[in-house]
Amino acid sequence: MQTRKRILVTGGAGFLGSHLCERLINDGHDVICLDNYFTGTRDNILHLLDQPHFELMRHDITFPLYLEVDEIYNLACPASPVHYQFDPVQTTKTTVHGAINMLGLAKRTKSKIFQASTSEVYGDPEVHPQPESYRGSVNPIGPRSCYDEGKRCAETLFFDYKRQHNLNIRVARIFNTYGPRMHPNDGRVVSNFIVQALKGEPITIYGDGEQTRSFCYVDDLIEGFIRLMAAPDDVTGPMNLGNPGEFTIRELAEAVIRLTGSSSELATRPLPEDDPMQRQPDITLARTTIGWEPTIQLEEGLGKTIRYFESELADA
Ligand code: NAD
Ligand code: UDP
Protein backbone atom coordinates (compact mmCIF):
# COMPACT_ATOMS: atom_id res chain seq x y z
CA MET A 1 0.00 0.00 0.00
CA GLN A 2 1.53 3.30 -1.06
CA THR A 3 1.28 6.51 0.94
CA ARG A 4 -1.89 8.52 0.52
CA LYS A 5 -1.16 11.83 -1.19
CA ARG A 6 -3.28 14.94 -1.71
CA ILE A 7 -3.33 15.40 -5.47
CA LEU A 8 -4.70 18.31 -7.52
CA VAL A 9 -5.94 17.54 -11.04
CA THR A 10 -6.66 20.68 -13.08
CA GLY A 11 -9.10 20.05 -15.92
CA GLY A 12 -10.28 17.10 -13.85
CA ALA A 13 -13.84 17.17 -15.25
CA GLY A 14 -12.57 16.82 -18.83
CA PHE A 15 -12.01 13.68 -20.87
CA LEU A 16 -8.50 12.76 -19.69
CA GLY A 17 -8.86 14.45 -16.31
CA SER A 18 -11.87 12.37 -15.31
CA HIS A 19 -10.02 9.12 -16.08
CA LEU A 20 -6.99 10.34 -14.15
CA CYS A 21 -9.11 11.31 -11.11
CA GLU A 22 -10.71 7.86 -11.17
CA ARG A 23 -7.32 6.14 -11.34
CA LEU A 24 -5.87 8.23 -8.48
CA ILE A 25 -8.91 7.57 -6.26
CA ASN A 26 -8.59 3.85 -7.00
CA ASP A 27 -4.91 4.05 -6.08
CA GLY A 28 -5.94 5.37 -2.63
CA HIS A 29 -5.22 9.11 -2.90
CA ASP A 30 -7.09 12.27 -1.92
CA VAL A 31 -8.06 13.97 -5.15
CA ILE A 32 -9.03 17.60 -5.69
CA CYS A 33 -10.62 17.92 -9.12
CA LEU A 34 -10.48 21.50 -10.36
CA ASP A 35 -12.33 22.72 -13.45
CA ASN A 36 -14.07 25.77 -14.91
CA TYR A 37 -16.35 23.52 -17.03
CA PHE A 38 -15.39 25.17 -20.32
CA THR A 39 -15.32 21.80 -22.11
CA GLY A 40 -15.57 19.44 -19.14
CA THR A 41 -18.77 18.42 -17.42
CA ARG A 42 -19.88 17.26 -14.01
CA ASP A 43 -21.31 14.16 -15.71
CA ASN A 44 -17.74 12.96 -16.30
CA ILE A 45 -17.04 12.77 -12.57
CA LEU A 46 -20.57 12.17 -11.24
CA HIS A 47 -19.61 8.61 -10.28
CA LEU A 48 -16.81 9.94 -8.06
CA LEU A 49 -18.82 12.55 -6.15
CA ASP A 50 -19.82 10.22 -3.31
CA GLN A 51 -16.24 9.04 -2.77
CA PRO A 52 -15.01 10.39 0.58
CA HIS A 53 -11.56 11.19 -0.80
CA PHE A 54 -12.79 13.10 -3.84
CA GLU A 55 -13.35 16.87 -3.84
CA LEU A 56 -14.64 19.08 -6.62
CA MET A 57 -13.63 22.71 -7.07
CA ARG A 58 -14.85 25.25 -9.64
CA HIS A 59 -11.92 27.48 -10.54
CA ASP A 60 -10.24 28.99 -13.59
CA ILE A 61 -6.46 28.41 -13.52
CA THR A 62 -5.80 31.77 -15.14
CA PHE A 63 -6.40 33.09 -11.60
CA PRO A 64 -4.12 32.32 -8.65
CA LEU A 65 -4.96 29.40 -6.41
CA TYR A 66 -4.03 28.76 -2.79
CA LEU A 67 -4.26 25.14 -1.66
CA GLU A 68 -2.09 22.64 0.20
CA VAL A 69 -1.18 19.73 -2.07
CA ASP A 70 1.54 17.10 -2.55
CA GLU A 71 1.25 16.67 -6.32
CA ILE A 72 -0.28 18.57 -9.22
CA TYR A 73 -1.36 17.28 -12.63
CA ASN A 74 -1.96 20.30 -14.88
CA LEU A 75 -4.43 19.21 -17.56
CA ALA A 76 -6.71 22.27 -17.73
CA CYS A 77 -6.94 23.43 -21.35
CA PRO A 78 -9.37 22.71 -24.18
CA ALA A 79 -7.78 20.07 -26.44
CA SER A 80 -10.03 20.03 -29.50
CA PRO A 81 -9.10 22.51 -32.26
CA VAL A 82 -12.75 23.64 -32.42
CA HIS A 83 -12.74 24.51 -28.73
CA TYR A 84 -9.28 25.99 -28.39
CA GLN A 85 -9.91 28.22 -31.42
CA PHE A 86 -13.28 29.41 -30.05
CA ASP A 87 -11.57 31.93 -27.72
CA PRO A 88 -7.88 31.85 -28.69
CA VAL A 89 -6.83 34.58 -26.27
CA GLN A 90 -8.31 32.60 -23.37
CA THR A 91 -6.47 29.49 -24.68
CA THR A 92 -3.14 31.31 -24.47
CA LYS A 93 -4.07 32.64 -21.01
CA THR A 94 -4.94 29.13 -19.85
CA THR A 95 -1.73 27.60 -21.18
CA VAL A 96 0.62 30.41 -20.09
CA HIS A 97 -0.94 32.23 -17.11
CA GLY A 98 -2.41 28.92 -15.97
CA ALA A 99 1.04 27.30 -16.04
CA ILE A 100 2.55 30.23 -14.10
CA ASN A 101 -0.17 29.96 -11.45
CA MET A 102 0.18 26.20 -11.09
CA LEU A 103 3.99 26.39 -11.04
CA GLY A 104 3.73 29.07 -8.34
CA LEU A 105 1.49 26.76 -6.34
CA ALA A 106 3.99 23.91 -6.80
CA LYS A 107 6.84 26.18 -5.71
CA ARG A 108 5.06 27.32 -2.53
CA THR A 109 3.87 23.83 -1.57
CA LYS A 110 7.07 22.08 -2.80
CA SER A 111 4.91 19.66 -4.78
CA LYS A 112 5.79 17.63 -7.82
CA ILE A 113 4.05 19.00 -10.92
CA PHE A 114 3.03 17.28 -14.18
CA GLN A 115 2.28 19.15 -17.39
CA ALA A 116 -0.04 17.78 -20.08
CA SER A 117 1.88 18.99 -23.11
CA THR A 118 1.13 17.88 -26.62
CA SER A 119 2.42 16.52 -29.92
CA GLU A 120 1.30 19.91 -31.28
CA VAL A 121 4.64 21.30 -30.05
CA TYR A 122 6.04 19.55 -33.17
CA GLY A 123 3.58 21.47 -35.40
CA ASP A 124 3.46 20.05 -38.95
CA PRO A 125 6.56 17.89 -38.48
CA GLU A 126 9.31 17.41 -41.05
CA VAL A 127 10.86 14.60 -39.00
CA HIS A 128 8.94 11.35 -38.86
CA PRO A 129 8.27 9.72 -36.41
CA GLN A 130 8.84 12.50 -33.90
CA PRO A 131 11.45 11.99 -31.16
CA GLU A 132 11.54 14.39 -28.19
CA SER A 133 14.74 15.96 -29.57
CA TYR A 134 12.87 17.27 -32.65
CA ARG A 135 12.20 20.99 -32.16
CA GLY A 136 9.16 21.21 -34.37
CA SER A 137 7.78 23.20 -37.26
CA VAL A 138 5.16 25.50 -35.78
CA ASN A 139 3.41 28.50 -37.31
CA PRO A 140 3.50 31.26 -34.64
CA ILE A 141 0.62 33.29 -36.13
CA GLY A 142 -1.92 30.75 -37.43
CA PRO A 143 -5.26 29.56 -36.03
CA ARG A 144 -3.60 26.68 -34.12
CA SER A 145 -0.86 28.91 -32.64
CA CYS A 146 -2.78 29.88 -29.48
CA TYR A 147 -2.60 26.24 -28.46
CA ASP A 148 0.72 25.15 -30.03
CA GLU A 149 2.72 28.17 -28.93
CA GLY A 150 0.89 28.33 -25.60
CA LYS A 151 1.88 24.74 -24.86
CA ARG A 152 5.46 25.40 -26.03
CA CYS A 153 5.67 28.42 -23.71
CA ALA A 154 4.28 26.29 -20.86
CA GLU A 155 7.13 23.78 -21.45
CA THR A 156 9.61 26.69 -21.32
CA LEU A 157 8.11 27.82 -18.01
CA PHE A 158 8.29 24.31 -16.56
CA PHE A 159 11.99 23.98 -17.40
CA ASP A 160 12.79 27.52 -16.22
CA TYR A 161 11.04 26.84 -12.89
CA LYS A 162 13.11 23.69 -12.61
CA ARG A 163 16.40 25.47 -13.39
CA GLN A 164 15.59 28.61 -11.39
CA HIS A 165 13.65 27.19 -8.43
CA ASN A 166 14.59 23.50 -8.54
CA LEU A 167 11.00 22.36 -9.03
CA ASN A 168 10.28 18.66 -9.46
CA ILE A 169 8.64 18.63 -12.91
CA ARG A 170 7.25 16.05 -15.37
CA VAL A 171 6.33 17.01 -18.93
CA ALA A 172 4.38 14.55 -21.11
CA ARG A 173 3.86 15.22 -24.82
CA ILE A 174 0.53 13.55 -25.45
CA PHE A 175 -0.39 12.31 -28.93
CA ASN A 176 -4.04 11.97 -30.06
CA THR A 177 -5.88 10.04 -27.36
CA TYR A 178 -9.46 8.78 -27.51
CA GLY A 179 -11.94 6.81 -25.45
CA PRO A 180 -15.11 7.00 -23.36
CA ARG A 181 -16.07 10.47 -22.04
CA MET A 182 -14.89 12.38 -25.06
CA HIS A 183 -17.54 15.00 -25.61
CA PRO A 184 -19.88 13.94 -28.47
CA ASN A 185 -19.68 17.47 -29.97
CA ASP A 186 -16.05 17.91 -29.19
CA GLY A 187 -15.05 18.12 -32.85
CA ARG A 188 -12.13 15.70 -32.60
CA VAL A 189 -11.90 13.10 -35.29
CA VAL A 190 -12.61 9.89 -33.32
CA SER A 191 -15.70 11.25 -31.54
CA ASN A 192 -16.95 12.93 -34.73
CA PHE A 193 -16.65 9.76 -36.82
CA ILE A 194 -18.23 7.46 -34.22
CA VAL A 195 -21.17 9.77 -33.53
CA GLN A 196 -21.71 10.33 -37.27
CA ALA A 197 -21.56 6.57 -37.95
CA LEU A 198 -23.99 5.74 -35.15
CA LYS A 199 -26.46 8.38 -36.36
CA GLY A 200 -26.12 7.26 -40.00
CA GLU A 201 -24.85 10.73 -40.97
CA PRO A 202 -22.05 11.37 -43.51
CA ILE A 203 -18.54 10.84 -42.14
CA THR A 204 -16.77 14.18 -42.59
CA ILE A 205 -13.26 13.70 -43.94
CA TYR A 206 -11.28 16.95 -44.00
CA GLY A 207 -9.07 17.25 -47.08
CA ASP A 208 -8.23 14.05 -48.95
CA GLY A 209 -8.06 12.00 -45.75
CA GLU A 210 -4.45 10.99 -46.45
CA GLN A 211 -3.14 12.94 -43.42
CA THR A 212 -2.13 10.59 -40.60
CA ARG A 213 -2.54 10.43 -36.84
CA SER A 214 -1.55 7.87 -34.20
CA PHE A 215 -4.34 7.08 -31.76
CA CYS A 216 -3.79 6.05 -28.15
CA TYR A 217 -6.54 4.53 -25.99
CA VAL A 218 -7.14 6.51 -22.80
CA ASP A 219 -6.33 3.71 -20.30
CA ASP A 220 -2.88 3.26 -21.81
CA LEU A 221 -2.19 6.98 -21.62
CA ILE A 222 -3.23 7.26 -17.94
CA GLU A 223 -0.87 4.40 -17.09
CA GLY A 224 1.88 6.44 -18.76
CA PHE A 225 1.00 9.52 -16.64
CA ILE A 226 1.21 7.50 -13.42
CA ARG A 227 4.54 5.91 -14.38
CA LEU A 228 6.08 9.22 -15.42
CA MET A 229 4.98 10.85 -12.16
CA ALA A 230 6.38 7.93 -10.12
CA ALA A 231 9.74 7.83 -11.96
CA PRO A 232 12.99 9.02 -10.33
CA ASP A 233 13.36 12.80 -10.08
CA ASP A 234 15.80 13.09 -12.97
CA VAL A 235 13.11 11.75 -15.35
CA THR A 236 11.55 15.11 -16.17
CA GLY A 237 10.65 14.54 -19.82
CA PRO A 238 9.59 15.97 -22.14
CA MET A 239 8.40 12.46 -22.88
CA ASN A 240 6.23 11.37 -25.79
CA LEU A 241 3.19 9.35 -24.72
CA GLY A 242 1.15 7.93 -27.56
CA ASN A 243 0.49 4.85 -29.63
CA PRO A 244 2.93 4.51 -32.56
CA GLY A 245 0.27 2.76 -34.71
CA GLU A 246 -0.23 5.30 -37.52
CA PHE A 247 -3.37 5.51 -39.68
CA THR A 248 -4.67 7.81 -42.36
CA ILE A 249 -7.90 9.61 -41.50
CA ARG A 250 -9.57 7.70 -44.33
CA GLU A 251 -8.45 4.39 -42.78
CA LEU A 252 -9.91 5.53 -39.46
CA ALA A 253 -13.23 6.36 -41.14
CA GLU A 254 -13.32 2.93 -42.80
CA ALA A 255 -12.55 1.19 -39.49
CA VAL A 256 -15.34 3.09 -37.72
CA ILE A 257 -17.84 2.19 -40.46
CA ARG A 258 -16.81 -1.47 -40.31
CA LEU A 259 -16.97 -1.71 -36.51
CA THR A 260 -20.30 0.10 -36.18
CA GLY A 261 -21.86 -1.66 -39.19
CA SER A 262 -23.01 1.81 -40.27
CA SER A 263 -24.41 2.69 -43.69
CA SER A 264 -22.87 6.20 -43.46
CA GLU A 265 -21.10 7.47 -46.55
CA LEU A 266 -17.81 9.33 -46.66
CA ALA A 267 -18.11 13.07 -47.33
CA THR A 268 -15.17 15.42 -47.88
CA ARG A 269 -14.83 18.87 -46.33
CA PRO A 270 -12.06 21.49 -46.70
CA LEU A 271 -8.85 20.79 -44.80
CA PRO A 272 -8.48 23.25 -41.89
CA GLU A 273 -5.55 25.71 -42.11
CA ASP A 274 -2.24 24.37 -40.73
CA ASP A 275 -3.65 20.86 -40.25
CA PRO A 276 -0.55 18.65 -39.72
CA MET A 277 0.00 16.09 -42.51
CA GLN A 278 1.54 13.36 -40.38
CA ARG A 279 2.05 12.47 -36.75
CA GLN A 280 3.58 9.45 -35.07
CA PRO A 281 5.35 9.30 -31.71
CA ASP A 282 8.79 7.83 -31.24
CA ILE A 283 8.26 6.29 -27.79
CA THR A 284 11.77 4.92 -27.26
CA LEU A 285 12.27 7.22 -24.26
CA ALA A 286 9.06 6.06 -22.54
CA ARG A 287 9.89 2.41 -23.28
CA THR A 288 13.40 2.64 -21.86
CA THR A 289 12.90 4.95 -18.86
CA ILE A 290 9.44 4.11 -17.51
CA GLY A 291 8.88 0.73 -19.21
CA TRP A 292 5.73 2.01 -20.88
CA GLU A 293 4.09 1.16 -24.15
CA PRO A 294 0.46 0.99 -25.25
CA THR A 295 -1.31 -2.34 -24.98
CA ILE A 296 -4.67 -1.54 -26.58
CA GLN A 297 -4.66 -1.37 -30.35
CA LEU A 298 -7.00 0.68 -32.49
CA GLU A 299 -9.80 -1.83 -33.22
CA GLU A 300 -10.11 -2.84 -29.57
CA GLY A 301 -10.08 0.76 -28.34
CA LEU A 302 -12.55 1.85 -30.99
CA GLY A 303 -14.85 -1.01 -29.95
CA LYS A 304 -14.88 0.20 -26.32
CA THR A 305 -15.43 3.81 -27.41
CA ILE A 306 -18.24 2.85 -29.80
CA ARG A 307 -20.04 1.00 -26.97
CA TYR A 308 -19.74 4.11 -24.79
CA PHE A 309 -21.21 6.41 -27.44
CA GLU A 310 -23.98 3.89 -28.21
CA SER A 311 -25.15 4.03 -24.61
CA GLU A 312 -24.75 7.84 -24.42
CA LEU A 313 -26.84 8.33 -27.56
CA ALA A 314 -29.46 5.88 -26.29
CA ASP A 315 -29.77 7.90 -23.04
CA ALA A 316 -29.92 11.27 -24.83
P1 NAD B 1 -10.92 18.31 -22.44
O2 NAD B 1 -11.33 19.53 -23.20
O3 NAD B 1 -11.89 17.19 -22.35
O4 NAD B 1 -10.50 18.68 -20.96
C5 NAD B 1 -9.92 19.90 -20.60
C6 NAD B 1 -10.52 20.32 -19.27
O7 NAD B 1 -9.93 21.57 -18.84
C8 NAD B 1 -12.04 20.58 -19.37
O9 NAD B 1 -12.69 19.95 -18.30
C10 NAD B 1 -12.15 22.10 -19.29
O11 NAD B 1 -13.39 22.53 -18.77
C12 NAD B 1 -10.97 22.44 -18.40
N13 NAD B 1 -10.47 23.81 -18.54
C14 NAD B 1 -10.22 24.49 -19.69
N15 NAD B 1 -9.73 25.70 -19.41
C16 NAD B 1 -9.68 25.82 -18.06
C17 NAD B 1 -9.28 26.83 -17.16
N18 NAD B 1 -8.83 28.02 -17.61
N19 NAD B 1 -9.36 26.59 -15.83
C20 NAD B 1 -9.83 25.40 -15.35
N21 NAD B 1 -10.23 24.41 -16.15
C22 NAD B 1 -10.16 24.61 -17.50
O23 NAD B 1 -9.55 17.81 -23.09
P24 NAD B 1 -8.67 16.52 -22.77
O25 NAD B 1 -8.60 15.72 -24.02
O26 NAD B 1 -9.12 15.88 -21.52
O27 NAD B 1 -7.23 17.19 -22.57
C28 NAD B 1 -6.67 17.36 -21.29
C29 NAD B 1 -5.27 17.92 -21.42
O30 NAD B 1 -4.46 17.03 -22.20
C31 NAD B 1 -5.20 19.28 -22.10
O32 NAD B 1 -4.22 20.08 -21.46
C33 NAD B 1 -4.76 18.95 -23.51
O34 NAD B 1 -4.05 20.01 -24.09
C35 NAD B 1 -3.87 17.74 -23.27
N36 NAD B 1 -3.80 16.88 -24.47
C37 NAD B 1 -4.83 16.06 -24.80
C38 NAD B 1 -4.73 15.28 -25.95
C39 NAD B 1 -5.83 14.33 -26.36
O40 NAD B 1 -5.70 13.71 -27.42
N41 NAD B 1 -6.87 14.12 -25.61
C42 NAD B 1 -3.59 15.37 -26.77
C43 NAD B 1 -2.58 16.24 -26.39
C44 NAD B 1 -2.68 16.99 -25.24
N1 UDP C 1 -10.70 15.44 -39.07
C2 UDP C 1 -11.54 14.98 -40.07
N3 UDP C 1 -12.89 14.99 -39.85
C4 UDP C 1 -13.43 15.42 -38.69
C5 UDP C 1 -12.56 15.88 -37.65
C6 UDP C 1 -11.20 15.88 -37.89
O7 UDP C 1 -11.10 14.57 -41.15
O8 UDP C 1 -14.67 15.39 -38.57
C9 UDP C 1 -9.25 15.39 -39.30
C10 UDP C 1 -8.50 16.68 -39.00
O11 UDP C 1 -8.49 17.53 -40.14
C12 UDP C 1 -7.12 16.17 -38.66
C13 UDP C 1 -7.39 14.82 -37.98
O14 UDP C 1 -8.71 14.45 -38.39
O15 UDP C 1 -6.36 15.94 -39.82
C16 UDP C 1 -7.33 14.87 -36.46
O17 UDP C 1 -8.14 15.94 -36.03
P18 UDP C 1 -8.43 16.23 -34.50
O19 UDP C 1 -9.23 17.51 -34.47
O20 UDP C 1 -9.01 15.05 -33.86
O21 UDP C 1 -7.00 16.45 -33.84
P22 UDP C 1 -5.63 17.15 -34.27
O23 UDP C 1 -4.67 16.04 -34.28
O24 UDP C 1 -5.76 17.79 -35.63
O25 UDP C 1 -5.39 18.16 -33.21
CA 28 to ligand 2 center in whole angstroms: 36
CB atoms within 10 A of CB 230: 12
Output the pTM of the full model.
Answer: 0.97
- Kind and range of the H or E run holding 239: strand 239-241
Instruction: Indicate if ligand 2 lies below 6 Å from the C-beta of 85.
Output: no
Residue in 94, 152, 96, 98 with CA at minimum distance from that of residue 123: 152
255 found inside a domain = no
Reading the chain (316 residues) residue by residue, the pLDDT tens digits are 468 999 999 999 999 999 999 999 999 999 999 999 999 999 999 999 999 999 999 999 999 999 999 999 999 999 999 999 999 999 999 999 999 999 999 999 999 999 999 999 999 999 999 999 999 999 999 999 999 999 999 999 999 999 999 999 999 999 999 999 999 999 999 999 999 999 999 999 999 999 999 999 999 999 999 999 999 999 999 999 999 999 999 999 999 999 999 999 999 999 999 999 999 999 999 999 999 999 999 999 999 999 999 999 998 7
- Give the C-alpha separation, 276 to 212, whole Å: 8
Instruction: Indicate if ligand 1 lies below 6 Å from the C-beta of 81.
Output: no
183 found inside a domain = no
- Give the C-alpha separation, 16 to 21, whole Å: 9
135: containing domain: 6-178+216-243+280-295
Q: Which ligand is nearest to the CA of 215?
A: 1
Instruction: Indicate if ligand 1 lies below 6 Å from the C-beta of 75.
Output: yes
SS3 43: helix
**CATH number, residue 85:** 3.40.50.720
Residue 298 CA, chain-centre distance (Å), reads 17
307 found inside a domain = no
Q: What is the pLDDT of residue 315?
A: 83
Cross-strand pairs, 266:
203
225 found inside a domain = yes
Helices vs. strands in the chain: H and E counts, helices first: 10, 13
Per the structure, the count of domains in the chain is 1
273 found inside a domain = no
- Kind and range of the H or E run holding 92: helix 88-92
205 found inside a domain = no
SS3 143: coil
61 found inside a domain = yes
229 found inside a domain = yes
Show the 3-state SS of 163-183.
HHHCCCEEEEEECCEECCCCC
